[in-house]
Amino acid sequence: MPEFTNVMQPCTHGDTYLEAVQNAQEVIELLAETAIEKGEPLPKRQKFQAIPVLQAA
């Protein structure tokens, strides 16, 4: 998740991986909206190396 410097780093969860990702997206949107409303800068874009996902046999 992006690093918003003025809030404790959020974490999210869900009953499924997809639900956790969707919840994370909602958190990011709310943090961005709040920062924009307050005139605060958004975190700088970062590029991360992809990590392969292992699938159960």
What's residue 5's pLDDT? 60
Rounded-to-integer distance, Cα 20 and Cα 30, Å: 15
Given a cut of 60, whether residue 25 has pLDDT beyond it is: yes
Rounded-to-integer distance, Cα 48 and Cα 51, Å: 9
Given a cut of 60, whether residue 1 has pLDDT beyond it is: no
State the pLDDT confidence band at 31, using cuts at 50, 70 and 90: confident
State the pLDDT confidence band at 27, using cuts at 50, 70 and 90: confident
Q: Percentage of the chain surpassing pLDDT 70?
A: 75
What's residue 42's pLDDT? 84
Q: What is the DSSP string of 1-57?
A: ----TTSPPP----SSHHHHHHHHHHHHHHHHHHHHHHTPPPPPP------PPP---
What's residue 7's pLDDT? 65
